Amino acid sequence: MEKPLTEHIRKDGRPLTLKEYEAIGGYQALRKMLKMTPKEVQALVKDSNLRGRGGAGFSTGLKWSFVPQDDTKPKYLITNADEMEPGTFKDRILLECTPHQLIEGMICAAYAIQANISYVYLRWAYKTAAQAILNAIDEAENAGYLGKNILGSGYDLEMHLHTGVGRYMCGEETALLNSLEGKRANPRAKPPFPQVSGLFGRPTIVNNVETLCCLPHIINNGSEWFKKLSLTADAGTKLYGVSGKVKKPGAWELPMGVTLRELIEEHAGGMQDGLKFRGALPGGASTDFLVEQHLDVKMDYTSVAAAGSRLGTGTVVVLDDKTCPVGFVKNLEHFFAQESCGFCTPCREGLPWVEKILTAIDAGEGNSDDIKLLEHHTRYLGPGNTFCAFAPGAMEPLQSALKYFRDDFEKHIHDKKCSYKLIANALIHEAS
């Protein structure tokens, strides 16, 4: 099983130095690519069927093709390394362990759209990654891979690290641009799309860390090779992760399209003793629950969508049978209510209301109309009613929880208490 993105990661977690990266074939893709035209690079990546690994799953090559192909300057290439989707911890691994792989991928993407300025927009909390990237940029500049006239090709690219100051919205690409411009990270209206009018009004591409890390391998090995890495029609490998009460939580690079069952039962070692699988968010906080009937769903963009959810970031959060689904969703909606940028009314007012209702139900103070009220919100805050995808994303776990765990909501309201808390307290009492 090939693991091009992670096979050379050191066991001790230290980043690969430039020398170590070159020794395993690093920057060979750059040499090869500089002999191609930008259009050829775009065509290759489009043909590889690489889809954005940040959560939306849009074709990377197609996204690039919207950048005007003229000589006006500047154009920008930005890495979205603002990993902050609750339950997601995949880009951290690539950032900390293989910074040169990201830099090489960024040079490939920048060359394909003829950008001469690039930024890594990194989450503030990733301190180890920040150091790794700063060192790697320095090494790459000294080796002639960045800066003026890269490897004598006549192509120039400067690269900067920008560390954020914390806000989930910054992961939305237009909000990220506002943040980079020193503004509040409110999303922008589309159109115009960033590919035409992005950072400082200039053509800009924003790509996810994992997406960019695929590029050197596609250039080295070709689009057919990349497609064959996958078990399904969505190409490549994918960094999957599992967290929650499983035996061996972790992250693994696997062929795109492994099943949810394989992830949980084989790679994560199954549920902890005494616990049963109840459901899971397949790709972070803003994805719909999958339940037992979906365990054999293939974890790719198309199959997870067909099962009524989204692959999202591919990092699974597991709900077990002794954890309260109402409390679980309350925790998610607290996050969304807090992180809403406040720019549009349904999101700003609706999410705290949802949180308030869930808090009441969880505390045994819900009333019989509350479920209807929550359902109303899942429509009112759904697609088309808000300025960006934030609130619709926040409604995904709620609407699916109301569908699959409805009994639990009703029981909380009827019994005026959370029976999961009573079980948890009894267990603690027993243990002491």
DSSP state string for 192-229: SPTTTS-GGGS-EEEEEHHHHHHHHHHHHH-HHHHHHT
Helix axes 406-415 and 325-339, enclosed angle (nearest 10): 100
- Separation between Cα atoms, residue 87 and residue 427, nearest integer Å: 26
Question: Torsion angle, CA of 366/369/371/373, rounded to 10 degrees?
Answer: -110
**Which of residues 48, 49, 80, 88 is near another protein by CB under 8 A?**
88
The residue count for binding another protein (CB under 8 A) is 55
**Residue 148 found at the interface with another protein (CB under 8 A):** no
**Residue 318 found at the interface with another protein (CB under 8 A):** yes
CB of 332 to another protein, least distance (A): 6
Q: What is the largest CA-CA distance in the chain?
A: 74
User: Which residue, among 105, 54, 100, 65, has the nearest Cα to 218 in the 3D structure?
Assistant: 105
- Separation between Cα atoms, residue 141 and residue 79, nearest integer Å: 18
Token duo for residue 252: 């693994």
* Residue 170 or 235 having the CB closest to another protein: 170
Window 267-306: residues binding another protein (CB under 8 A): 281, 285
**Residue 314 found at the interface with another protein (CB under 8 A):** no
**Which of residues 8, 86, 116, 389 is near another protein by CB under 8 A?**
86
CB of 85 to another protein, least distance (A): 7
Measured CA angle at 13 (ends 10, 19), to 5 deg: 50
Window 253-272: residues binding another protein (CB under 8 A): none
**Which of residues 17, 232, 323, 359 is near another protein by CB under 8 A?**
323
CB of 27 to another protein, least distance (A): 26
**Residue 122 found at the interface with another protein (CB under 8 A):** no
**Which of residues 250, 270, 346, 364 is near another protein by CB under 8 A?**
250
CB of 392 to another protein, least distance (A): 18
Taking CB under 8 A as the binding criterion, the range among 31-39, 60-68, 232-240, 245-253 that sits at the site for another protein is: 245-253
* Residue 50 or 97 having the CB closest to another protein: 97
**Residue 126 found at the interface with another protein (CB under 8 A):** yes
**Which of residues 47, 56, 59, 89 is near another protein by CB under 8 A?**
89
Window 215-244: residues binding another protein (CB under 8 A): 241-244
Taking CB under 8 A as the binding criterion, the range among 14-22, 53-61, 229-237, 313-321 that sits at the site for another protein is: 313-321
SS (H, E, C) 97-131: HCHHHHHHHHHHHHHHHCCCEEEEEECCCCHHHHH
CB of 47 to another protein, least distance (A): 33
**Residue 251 found at the interface with another protein (CB under 8 A):** yes
**Residue 138 found at the interface with another protein (CB under 8 A):** no
User: Which residue, among 394, 424, 421, has the nearest Cα to 288 in the 3D structure?
Assistant: 394
**Residue 184 found at the interface with another protein (CB under 8 A):** yes
CB of 256 to another protein, least distance (A): 20
- Separation between Cα atoms, residue 16 and residue 387, nearest integer Å: 41
- Separation between Cα atoms, residue 117 and residue 101, nearest integer Å: 18
**Which of residues 146, 185, 258, 398 is near another protein by CB under 8 A?**
185
Q: How many CA atoms lie within 13 A of 142 on its CB side?
A: 9
**Residue 387 found at the interface with another protein (CB under 8 A):** no
- Separation between Cα atoms, residue 267 and residue 285, nearest integer Å: 21
| Long-range contacts from 385-389, C-beta under 8 angstroms, 24+ separation | 385/346, 386/344, 386/346, 386/347, 387/187, 387/189, 387/343, 387/344, 387/347, 388/172, 388/174, 388/175, 388/187, 388/344, 389/172
- Asked if 99 and 226 touch (Cβ cutoff 8 Å), the reply is no
CB of 367 to another protein, least distance (A): 25
Residues that bind another protein (CB under 8 A): 83-89, 91-92, 123-128, 160, 163-168, 179-185, 200, 241-245, 249-251, 281, 285, 315, 317-320, 323, 327-328, 331-332, 334-335, 338-339, 341
